[in-house]
A and B are shown apart, each in its own frame.
Chain A
Amino acid sequence: MLVCASSSAAESAASALPRSGYSYLSEETRRLQDDDFANPGMLWVQKGEELWTQSTGPAAQSCQSCHGQARDSMRTVATRYPLYSPPLGRVINLEQQINRCRVSRLNSSALAYESEDLLALTAFISHQAKGLPVNVSVDGPAAASFARGRAFFYRRRGQLNLACANCHERYAGFRLHGETISQGQINGFPIYRELWQTMGSTHRMFVWCNEAVRAEPYPLGSQEYVDLELFERWRGRGLPIETPAVRR
């Protein structure tokens, strides 16, 4: 009887509607995110806006040279990434697309993953899609990547032997010490994390989470994390983009 009850609870947790990390925050932190003047993440958005128009490479071109006003051209972009790239033959995320553009179109250098500049550009572009629902494509050529991401999410790992799903699906909404466990949705990334006192990408969060269960993390920008990112976005499909979100 007890087993039966717990398994049905697990099922209901798994089929629960996506819920943004925002709804688990304290009122004070929500207010910080909602006020564009107080939200520290806006510093990176502002920096990204400068980088958008800043010329780079031998041809002295900027993002704006090709894409024009980000307000229009980048309006829906963040809702679709990670996205399958036909020339590369694999799924890539927004950070990697920015770097691909910089290298192949601007003949400039790729920005280091998690560098201030890449975070700023990612935050700026994602911010254009604020309020729009996450809508990634997981069929066709992206299906294999999606399947790998799903497997990652449900595979136990680390010395604590925990899968992402153990906390963020089965026990979302429950307490862990002083914290409420969220669903682990990534609709607000890159986020300003109070713990880090700075901006962080999805992959930095994955590394942090992996280390928290004492597992060896994968490198930032690795295909494993891009696959997981794709699955995570699909899991939170329909949630509004919140970039730059503020989280604990």
Chain B
Amino acid sequence: MIMHPMENGFNFDSQGTTIPVHIITDFVCAYDGAEVVRVQLQPGLSANPYFSFYLTATRSGPVDFKWTDQDGTVTTNSAQLQVT
């Protein structure tokens, strides 16, 4: 889940001016270096998007999450997956 307003560009503020589009455009998840999920997001998605997917854990390694805003801002997060 990502904390993000996902403004679709169709909303107005209290002064009546349009709030510009502000969305995440790409979301990528890599497991031990290999890409496992890639998502392209569109303005129709609601705030704080939540992704849920299956991943077969075969070996220990980092799970890296990376998402890109439309203005190019890249945010990353990582978790270590331990297979015993």
Contacts and interface: CB of A to CB of B under 8 A. Distances in A.
Interface string A32-43: 000001101011
A197 interface: yes
A197 B3 CA distance: 11
Interface stretch (B13-21, B42-50, B68-76): B42-50
B1 interface: yes
A198 interface: yes
Interface in A163-217: 197-198
Interface in A61-106: none
Interface in B1-23: 1, 3, 5-6
B77 to A, nearest CB: 12
Contact of B47 (A37, A42, A198): A198
A40 B50 CA distance: 8
Interface residues of A, number: 8
* Interface size classification for chain B: under 10
A198 B47 CA distance: 8
Contacts, number: 21
A38 B1 contact: yes
A37 B1 contact: yes
B41 to A, nearest CB: 15
A43 B3 contact: yes
B1 A197 contact: no
B50 A197 contact: no
Contacts of B46: 197
A197 B49 CA distance: 11
A43 B50 contact: no
Nearest to B47: A197
A100 B69 CA distance: 37
B47 A43 contact: no
Contacts of A197: 5-6, 46-48
Interface string A5-46: 000000000000000000000000000000001101011000
Contacts of B6: 197
Contacts of B5: 197-198
Nearest to B49: A40
A43 B77 CA distance: 14
B13 to A, nearest CB: 14
Given A40-B48, A43-B48, 12 more contacts: A37-B1, A38-B50, A38-B52, A40-B50, A42-B1, A43-B1, A43-B3, A197-B5, A197-B46, A197-B47, A198-B5, A198-B48
21 contacts: A37-B1, A38-B1, A38-B50, A38-B52, A40-B1, A40-B47, A40-B48, A40-B50, A42-B1, A43-B1, A43-B3, A43-B48, A47-B3, A197-B5, A197-B6, A197-B46, A197-B47, A197-B48, A198-B5, A198-B47, A198-B48
